[in-house]
Chain A
Amino acid sequence: MTEAMNTSAAPASAADTLLEGSGLHTYYGVSHILHGVDFSVRRGETIGLMGRNGMGKTTLIKTLLGLVRPREGQVRVRGEDMTQAATHAIARRGIAYVPEGRGIFPNLSVRENLVMAARAGVDGRREWDFDRVIHTFPRLGERLTNGGAQLSGGEQQMLTIGRALMTNPDLLILDEATEGLAPLIAREIWNIIKTIRASGIATIIVDKNYAAVMALANRSVVLVKGRVVFSGESRELGDNEELMHRFLGV
């Protein structure tokens, strides 16, 4: 944090903070990936998590989800310390994950991919169910009996997002959701992300299309070599060509 250029976001009250990591140090074997990262998401907020390849974005997400354990630091979900909690327990507190490379279950049909994930939200909400997901992604509706592996890249991405929504999350983490997709399909995914955001679900967006991320995100966080070098309003980052060039190579 010493290098952070900006911490203009007002401190959130504990009740409003959905997910928070503080002082996170994560290693893969002997490689020290995260160097004391502080990161938090409040209810309804959209955060752009940026940085070039290999800067620790995915590792940060995996650490927050309990898929990788930090050696130091703390992960809190809704104010509760869950640094050592199982991933499924963290997810059950309203956090859904769309991983890089999609992570659909290729041996399950489209319908099964969705149905297996269905769950009420933390407050018992069931706004998102099978019908609503199919309504949002009509292309999936045409492929219900197809195996997950038979879908195109864009359809797989829609399935992964739809599956995440089936858990009625308060926070959706999208890691490279448009990677490798044709521009037209990518645009469709961005529109869906906008709809999700408008419905009040908080989102963390990791994407190479920085302009699109910053247009959506209230706040942007930039990682360089496992350290937060910028955390503040997206507008501020976008307006600062020097920062954009130095940290993101734009």
Chain B
Amino acid sequence: MDFAFFLIQLLNGLQYGLLLFLVASGLTLVFGIMGIINLAHGSFYMVGAYLAWSLSSMTGSLTAAILLAIPLTVILGMALERLLFRHLYQRDHLYQVLLTYGLILVFEELRSLIWGDDVHGVAVPALLNASIPLTDNLSYPVYRLAISGVCLLLAAALYFLIQKTRLGMMIRAGASNRDMVQSLGIDIKLIYTLVFAMGIALAAFAGMINAPLSSVFPNMGSQVLIICFVVVVIGGIGSVKGAMAASLMIGLAETFGQVLVPEVAGMIVYVLMAVVLVWRPQGLFGKA
């Protein structure tokens, strides 16, 4: 494996990992702070991708589609939190699993009704539709670099929000003692709605920006969901830092696995999860 080839795999692995982080960070936040197991999280990734496809075919621009789709997914997230998820906070995980599994089916059915069951491609925005030549016959697409850049920016923003702002302190405090947060005059329900909507919007946004690379197809959410649960478990439930570390680990392991040992590539991430769990059952950054 020469250096240019290695570099390409490295960049692909990082880009895949960063994209996973966008989806998984929302999952781990909602899980860690509100105690909700949201199996429908992957469906929002799918909704994002389909919105990107349908709105970009209407407007002719993926950028415009994304700008339109983000507020739509935030509204969807807030509405679902108010109507459904709010009633699950005090409930057993079994109820959460039942409801959110039901939501997966509802979303798939709605997707079929609204957008049909065909596979669709989404065009890379013209501005980013270029490649950087690495050697005579190897080059790297600018769009993938752009995705990585955007993901890194969002990860930094998320880190800043949670670690450095008062809202972030309230969010973290809410994870440890909900009654106490309310007793300090803070509207915990509003904070939950915001966190949930943010998680949904991040997953949907990941689906939007990845649509040109992955294309858009039925059940695309479930694949992402399973990997994201692996990320959350490896990283430690509720830990955004852990989600970042685990996403990058999985992104790189899967990418290099497919190149180096394609026969067993499918199981590498699960082996990784098993090893981490034997070593640290609470995950890399989880609390024991």
Chain A interface residues toward B at CB < 8 A: 65, 67, 86-88, 91-92, 96-97, 99, 103, 105-108, 112-113, 115-119, 163-164, 167
Contact = CB atoms under 8 A, between A and B. Distances in A.
Interface in B147-199: 166, 169-170, 172-173, 175-177, 179-180, 182-189
Given A107-B175, A115-B169, A116-B173, A86 B187 contact: yes
B97 to A, nearest CB: 26
Given A116-B170, A163-B184, A87 B175 contact: no
Contact of B182 (A88, A119, A163): A88
A92 B188 CA distance: 13
B173 A105 contact: yes
A167 B185 contact: yes
A91 B182 contact: yes
A105 B185 contact: no
Closest 9 CB pairs of A and B: A116-B169, A91-B185, A87-B182, A103-B180, A92-B185, A97-B183, A105-B173, A88-B182, A117-B184
A186 B264 CA distance: 63
Nearest to B182: A87
Given A86-B187, A88-B184, 4 more contacts: A88-B185, A112-B172, A113-B173, A163-B184
Contacts of A164: 184
Contacts of B183: 65, 67, 87-88, 91, 96-97, 99, 103
A107 B162 CA distance: 12
A91 B184 contact: yes
Contacts of B179: 67, 87, 103
Contacts of A99: 180, 183
B188 A108 contact: no
A88 B166 contact: no
SS of A interface (majority): loop
B180 A107 contact: no
A167 B184 CA distance: 7
Contacts of B172: 105, 107-108, 112
B188 A88 contact: yes
Contacts of B182: 67, 86-88, 91
Interface residue tally of chain B, by bracket?
A: 10 to 19
A146 B180 CA distance: 20
A116 B180 contact: no
Nearest to B173: A105
Nearest to A173: B183
A241 to B, nearest CB: 37
B53 to A, nearest CB: 40
Contacts of B189: 86
Interface string B23-50: 0000000000000000000000000000
B73 to A, nearest CB: 27
Contacts of B175: 107
A99 B172 CA distance: 19
B187 A96 contact: no
Contacts of A118: 166
A108 B169 contact: yes
B185 A103 contact: no
6 contacts: A67-B179, A97-B184, A105-B173, A105-B180, A107-B173, A107-B176
Contact of A116 (B166, B187, B188): B166
Contacts of A86: 182, 187, 189
A69 to B, nearest CB: 13
B176 A105 contact: yes
Contacts of B187: 86, 88
Contacts of A116: 166, 169-170, 173, 184, 186
Nearest to A68: B179
Contacts of A105: 172-173, 176-177, 180
A115 B172 CA distance: 13
A146 B242 CA distance: 21
Contacts of B176: 105-108
A89 to B, nearest CB: 8
Contacts of B184: 88, 91, 96-97, 116-117, 119, 163-164, 167
A87 B182 CA distance: 6
Contacts of A107: 172-173, 175-176
A111 B283 CA distance: 27
A119 B177 contact: no
Nearest to B191: A88
Nearest to B174: A105
A151 to B, nearest CB: 15
A109 to B, nearest CB: 9
A15 B183 CA distance: 23
Contacts of B173: 105, 107-108, 113, 116
Contacts of A67: 179, 182-183
Contacts of A113: 173
B180 A88 contact: no
Nearest to B184: A117
